[in-house]
Chain A
Amino acid sequence: MKNKWLAVASVLLILFSLSAVAADDSYRAMEKRVVEKTLSNGLKVIMVPRHDAPVASFVIYADVGGVNEEQDATGLAHIFEHMAFKGTDTLGTKDYAKEKAAMDREDEAFLALRAERLKLNPDPEKLKTLEENFKKAGEEAQKWVETGEYDKVLEREGAQNLNAFTGFDQTVYFYSMTSNKLELWAALESERFINPVLHEFYKEKDVIMEEKRMGESSPMGRLFDDFFPLAYKAHMYRSYIIGNMEDLKNITREQAMAWFRKYYCAKNLTAVIVGDLDPEKAVPVLEKYMGRIPSGEKPEPPISVDPPQRAEKRMIMEDPSQPFLVIGYHRPAVTDKDDAVYSAISDILGGGRSSRLYKSLVKEKKLAMEVQAMPTFEGEKYPGLFTIICVPNKGVKNEECEKAIYDELKRIGSEKVTEDELKGVKARAKTRFLSGINSNLGLAIQLAMAENVRGGWRELFAQLDKIEAVSQDDIKRVSKEMFIRNNRTVAMIETQGEEE
C-alpha cells in the first residue's frame, strides 16, 4: 500500500513528491469522470456524475460580460442577467398578447421621455407630462404581469443557491435541485433562453440603480469604481460591471433584447451539471430542450487592448472612512504560458500567514491588519491586473504600507525564492484545488470558467501540473518584469481632514 510506504519515507523531498502522486490520483480520477457533449445546435454540455447525495448543481454560462459593452450602454450585461429571471411569454404573464401591447406602449412612452431628457435644454413641463405618460403606461403593463412567477416555481421546487452573477468576462446562472429534476431544469432553463420576455423592465432598472447605490455606499465600492478606469486606458475592463448611472437610466428594453439575441445563442453558452446524474441518460433530455436554443454565431471578441502603460498612475480618494490601499500591475491573460507563475507569485507574497507580505506588514512591522495578493482581479480572460490590497492598522499611513510592500516586490524580483517557499506553493495549490472541487456547485462553476476563460475545461485540472512546473527562476523573472513603477496603478483612501 502506498500509505505504508509513505510512513517509512523520511526524506522530505521524497515524501513530498509522493504526496503529489496521492493527490493526483483523486483529481485525475475526477477528470476521467467528466463527460463532454456538444448538442446539435452547438451548445456545449459538461457533466460530472457524483452520486453521494440525490442532488445536482446546474450552471448556464454565457460567454459575455461587462467586457462586451460599449459606451452609452454600460451595465447592459448585468441588466440582462436580472431580466433573465422575469420569465417568458408563458411564464410571468397573465395574458401575453395584452401585456405585449401594453409593453410596446410603455416602450414608446419611455422613448419619448428619453428623447426629451437627452435634449440640450429639456423642457421641464414636457418632461413632467412625459414622465406621467410613462408612469401610466407602466401601470397598464403591470396589470398583465404575473409577478415573480419564475422565482415562485423554483422556490417551490426547492431550488437552492438560486442566483446569477455578471463579471467582466461572463454571465453565469446557477442553482441546485434534487437530481430527479434534471428534465424540469432543462425545460425551465431552455425556455428562458429561447424566449425571454423582459417583464417589468423599467422597474428592474430601478432595482439595479439601487444595487449601484448600494455599492457606492461602501468606501471600497467607491474606490474600485474609479480604480478600474484609471488602470485601463482602452480595454473595457475599465468599465465597472454595474454601469454608469446615466446609461442605466437610458437603456431601453430593445437594447436589452438585442443584447440577448447577439450573445445568448447556443454557440455562446455552456451548460454544466455536477451531481447525481447519468450522463448517457441526460444527453437526450438536454438535446430535447437545450437543443432548441437557436444556434447563432459566436460573437466576435472585443478588439481594444491596453497598450503598455507608460507611467505610474496614482489616485487618492479623500473619504470619511479609514485608509485603504490597492496596487495593480498589468499582466497577461490567464491563457499566457506564465499564468501559473503569476499564481505562484501571488501565493508567496500574500497567500497565508507565512506569506512574505503578511509576515512583513502584519506580523513584523505591524503596519497592516490585512494584506492580500491576487493573481488577477476581476477580469482574467484578457490581460488583467495582478493586485495587492492592504488594510493599514490604526494610525498607520498608506505610504508606510506602500513602502513595505515595494520592499517585498523588489526582493522577489531580485532574489530567488527559497525551495521551501516554492514547495509550499505547490502543496497549497493542491489542497486548495481539492477543497474547491468538493462541492457540486463549486466544481460546476469552475469547469464552466475553465472552458470559457482558459480555453477548455481540462485546463482546470491542468493548472496543478502547471504550478508543479514553476521554477524559482520563473518567479524571479516574471516578478522582475511585472513589478516596475511604470506598470502600476495605485489607488488609496485617505481619511478626510487628516491630510492638508
Chain B
Amino acid sequence: MKKLMIVSVVLLSLSLCFQGAEKKPRPFETVKVPPLNPIKNPVFEKTVLDNGLQVYFFEKHELPLISLTAMIRGGGVDESKAGQAELFGEVLRSGGTKSMSGDKVDEFLENIGAEIETYSGDAAVTVRAKMLRENREEVIPLFVEFLVSPAFPEEKIQLAKTQMNSQISRRNDNVNGLARREFMKLVYGADSPYASQLEYADVEALERIDLLRFHDKFFRPEQTIIAVVGDFDTPEMKETFGKLLGGWKNGTIAPAFAVPNIPEPKASVSFIEKNDVEQSTILLGHLGLRLDDPDYPAVNMLSEVLGGGMASRIFTQVRTLKGLAYGAGGYMMPAYDHKGAFYFYTSTKPESTREALQTILDEIKKVRTGKVTDEELTRARDGYMNSFAFEFDSTEKIARRMLLYKFYGYPEKFNEELRGKIEKVTADDILAAAGKHLFDDKLAVLVVGKKEVRDQLGSFGSVGVIDITIPDQPVKEVLPEPTPETMKKGTELLKAAAVKVGEKQLTDLKNFSFECTTTMKTPMGDFSVKQKGLFVFPDKSRVEIESPMGKIEEVVKGSEGYRTMNGRKKVIPESQLKEAKRSLYLSLAGANILRDVISGKLQGQYIGPKEIDSRKAELVVVTIENAPVKLYIAEGMLIGVGTRQNTHEGPKDLVEVYGDFRVVQGLLVPFVRRTFDGGNVSEQTFYSSAALNVEPQAADKEALGLK
C-alpha cells in the first residue's frame, strides 16, 4: 500500500574543483560522482475531525513500529504561574489517567515494550507514544486518555515537586547548563519565559488546581495536531481516531495566545565565579531572527561561515590554529514564533580566557566589515545543498517537520522554499545581513570561570558580576494548632488595636492620599524614590513613583494592574501583581486587616509574646489567602506586619514595622515604615503628608474607574 512520490527536488552533484590547479589531482578529486537517486517523499494523508482536531498519517512498513505525536498549543509562555507548564508536563504522564493510575500505566506499557511520554515546551505540550504494531489497539486508547482525561493525583504532584526542587539544588553543578541558563536571561531578559528559572518558592506555590486549569484551558481539539507514523493502514487508523477523539469537545472559553515581548539587545559583560572548573566557559551573542525572516537565508550562510562546523572561521582560529579550546563556534539559532538568538561559544583554560574571547570578537567584527570569500560561500552553500537529502532520510523526521510547520503555520514545503533562497544568497547579501543583524557592540558576553579570570575581562567593558547563589528553600514555620482560647484572645487583641487607632475612622475609611520617600538598601548603596499616591480601600491604588529612569505610574485595580513609563503602558505580570495587591492590603499599618476584624470577617490566633524591633510585643497570626500573616501588637497598637514575600533574592520573611504615629483626621497614622529582613532594615519610608477620604483627582478617577 505504500505509495511514494518522487519529489521534484533533484540535487546537483557537483564536480570537485580546487584551488591550486598546478598540483596533480589527488585520488579523491578524480572520483566521478554519479547523479543522486531521486528523493522520495512519502505520501501522507490528513483528516480534520468536526471538533477541529487535525491528524496526519504517514505509513512506513519496514519495521512493525507505530509512533504517535500530539502537539497541543500552550506552554511555558502561556503559563499564569512560574513552573505551571513544567509541572503539568511531568504530572500529565506520571499521574496517569482517570481510568488507569500512573503506576499502572508504567507497568502496562513497559510489559509490552511500549512508551508514552509527555513534556511541555515554550509553546506546546507534546504527548508521544511508541508501540509495536500489534499493541496499537491497547496503546492508542490510552494515549487518547492522556489528552482527554488525565488524573493529576496529589501524590504525583508532590513527587514531581520534590524532583523539581532537587533539580534547582543541582542547577549550578554543571557549568554548561549554568552558563546557558544565565546567557538566555541576558539575551531574552531575566523575566522572559524563554529564560525562565524556577525557584523553590515557585515550586512551593504550585498546586493541583493549577494543573487542572492548564488542562482545561489549553487541551482543546482545535488546538491539537497529531502525527501517526509507522506500520499501520491509514483507513483503519482514521477510523480509530474518529471513534476515540471525535467526541472530544473544546472548552467554552478559547484561550488567547501571545508571544511575549523581548527587550532590544544591549551590550554587557557579565562574570560568574565558579572555582571548581578547569576552564572558563565563554558565551556571547544577542537576539536573532525568526526562521521565516526574509533575511534568514543570508544569516544562515553568515552563521555557517562564521561558526558552523569544523571549517568555520571561529573553529579554525580558536581551535585549529591557536589550540585554545576543544569546542568553539556559534550559530544563529532561529525560532519558529519569536526571535531566535545568535550565540557564540568556547571554553578554554583560565589563562587564555581573554585571548579566546578576543579571537571570537575579532571574527564577529571582521565578518561585519568584509565580504566572505567565494570559497567560503561555496563551501557553506554546497554543504547545505549536498546535505539536503537528509531532510528526507526518515519518515519520522519528515512527519516531525510537518507537525512543526503545521503547528507554527509555516507552508508545507517551507524547507524547499528555504533551499531555493539559500541557493541564491551572495557574498553581498551576507555582508548586508551581517550589518543589519549582527552587532559587535550589542553583544551580551558571559564568562563563567575561576575567580582570577574576572581581571581578564576589564578590557571588554564594565564587568557585572552575577550572583548564582540559589535562594534558600522557604522554611515552613509550624504554628501551634488554634484552640478556642487562642482564637478568642488573638481576635480580642486585634479588636482592641482597632479601637486604639480609631474604630469609627477605620470603618468610614474610603481612601488615603499620601506623599512619601522610600529608601532601599542595595549592594550598590542606598537608593531613594519619591512616591505620591492614593489608596482606595479595599483594593485599588494609583501611585506615581519618581525613579531615576523617569516617572512611573502604577495602577492596581482589583485583579488587574499596569505600569506606565515614558508613555508605554505595560501589564504588571501576575507574580508582581500579587505582591502589589498584598502591599495594598497591608497599607496604612494594616488598616484593611483591622477593618476585616471589626466587621468579623477575620479572626486572629494568639501565639505568644515575641520581640520585634527591640520592643516587647504580642504575636497574633491571621490567615490571608491561605498564607499566614504575623501581626505584632505592642502597648495595644498594631506596630508590625510580617509576611513571606518574593524578592529578587527569592522568598523571604519580611516584617514591616510602623512608628511615628500621628493623628490624621482622628485616625492614628504611622509616618515611618521600616522593613526588617532578619535583623537588618532593608527599606525605610518617611511620609511627608497623609490625608483621609480626599476627593480623588481626575487622573485617579480615570485610572481607577471611580465615579
- Give Cα A423 to B115, complex, Å: 16
Is B382 touching A427 in the complex (CB atoms < 8 A)?
no
Give chain B nearest CB distance to A317 CB in angstroms.
Answer: 11
Query: For A362, what are the chain B residues with a Cβ–Cβ distance below 8 Å?
Result: 159
Is A180 touching B393 in the complex (CB atoms < 8 A)?
no
Write out, one digit per residue, whether chain A residues 195-223 have a CB within 8 A of any chain B CB (1) or not (0): 00000101111111111011011110000
Write out, one digit per residue, whether chain A residues 374-400 have a CB within 8 A of any chain B CB (1) or not (0): 000000000000000001111000000
Is B159 touching A431 in the complex (CB atoms < 8 A)?
no
Asked if B141 lies at the interface with its beta carbon under 8 angstroms from chain A, I say no
| Count class of interface residues, chain B | 35 or more
Asked if B173 lies at the interface with its beta carbon under 8 angstroms from chain A, I say yes
Give chain B nearest CB distance to A153 CB in angstroms.
Answer: 7
Is A219 touching B173 in the complex (CB atoms < 8 A)?
yes
Give chain A nearest CB distance to B166 CB in angstroms.
Answer: 4
Give chain A nearest CB distance to B533 CB in angstroms.
Answer: 42
Indicate whether A54 sits within 8 Å of B349 (C-beta atoms), given known contacts A213-B278, A219-B276, A366-B159. Answer: no
- Give Cα A319 to B277, complex, Å: 11
Is B276 touching A53 in the complex (CB atoms < 8 A)?
no
Query: For B162, what are the chain A residues with a Cβ–Cβ distance below 8 Å?
Result: 366, 393-394
- Give Cα A90 to B385, complex, Å: 26
Query: For B106, what are the chain A residues with a Cβ–Cβ distance below 8 Å?
Result: 352-354
Indicate whether A434 sits within 8 Å of B166 (C-beta atoms), given known contacts A183-B32, A439-B394. Answer: no
Asked if A424 lies at the interface with its beta carbon under 8 angstroms from chain B, I say yes
| Count class of interface residues, chain A | 35 or more
Main secondary structure of the interface of A (DSSP, over half): helix
Query: For A90, what are the chain B residues with a Cβ–Cβ distance below 8 Å?
Result: 23, 26
Indicate whether A432 sits within 8 Å of B386 (C-beta atoms), given known contacts A210-B279, A210-B349, A219-B173. Answer: no
Indicate whether A158 sits within 8 Å of B388 (C-beta atoms), given known contacts A207-B323, A424-B110. Answer: yes
Query: For A158, what are the chain B residues with a Cβ–Cβ distance below 8 Å?
Result: 382-390
Give chain A nearest CB distance to B138 CB in angstroms.
Answer: 10
- Give Cα A369 to B161, complex, Å: 11
Is A363 touching B159 in the complex (CB atoms < 8 A)?
yes
Query: For B461, what are the chain A residues with a Cβ–Cβ distance below 8 Å?
Result: none
Write out, one digit per residue, whether chain B residues 475-508 have a CB within 8 A of any chain A CB (1) or not (0): 0000000000000000000000000000000000
Give chain A nearest CB distance to B355 CB in angstroms.
Answer: 12
Candidates B13, B168, B379, B389; contact of A155 at CB < 8 Å: B379
Is B347 touching A214 in the complex (CB atoms < 8 A)?
yes
Give chain A nearest CB distance to B17 CB in angstroms.
Answer: 11
Asked if A40 lies at the interface with its beta carbon under 8 angstroms from chain B, I say no
Is B33 touching A52 in the complex (CB atoms < 8 A)?
no
Query: For A91, what are the chain B residues with a Cβ–Cβ distance below 8 Å?
Result: 26, 28
Asked if B369 lies at the interface with its beta carbon under 8 angstroms from chain A, I say no
Write out, one digit per residue, whether chain B residues 648-692 have a CB within 8 A of any chain A CB (1) or not (0): 000000000000000000000000000000000000000000000
Query: For A417, what are the chain B residues with a Cβ–Cβ distance below 8 Å?
Result: none
Candidates B39, B311, B347, B387; contact of A160 at CB < 8 Å: B387
Indicate whether A394 sits within 8 Å of B175 (C-beta atoms), given known contacts A26-B63, A55-B393. Answer: no
Query: For B385, what are the chain A residues with a Cβ–Cβ distance below 8 Å?
Result: 158
Indicate whether A188 sits within 8 Å of B28 (C-beta atoms), given known contacts A152-B379, A156-B383. Answer: yes
Residues in chain B within 8 A of chain A (CB atoms) = 11, 13, 16, 23, 26-28, 31-40, 62-65, 94, 103, 106-107, 110-115, 130-135, 137, 159, 162-163, 165-170, 173-175, 275-279, 281, 309-311, 315-316, 319-327, 347-349, 378-379, 382-390, 392-396, 473
**Could you pull out 19 A-B pairs where Cβ atoms are within 8 angstroms?**
A22-B134, A23-B132, A26-B63, A54-B39, A90-B26, A147-B321, A148-B315, A156-B379, A157-B382, A200-B320, A203-B321, A206-B324, A213-B278, A219-B276, A354-B110, A427-B112, A428-B110, A428-B113, A432-B113
Besides A155-B311, A180-B34, A216-B278, 18 more A-B contacts (Cβ < 8 Å) are A148-B316, A148-B320, A158-B384, A183-B31, A184-B28, A207-B323, A213-B279, A214-B327, A217-B278, A321-B173, A354-B111, A363-B103, A394-B473, A424-B110, A427-B113, A428-B113, A434-B132, A438-B65
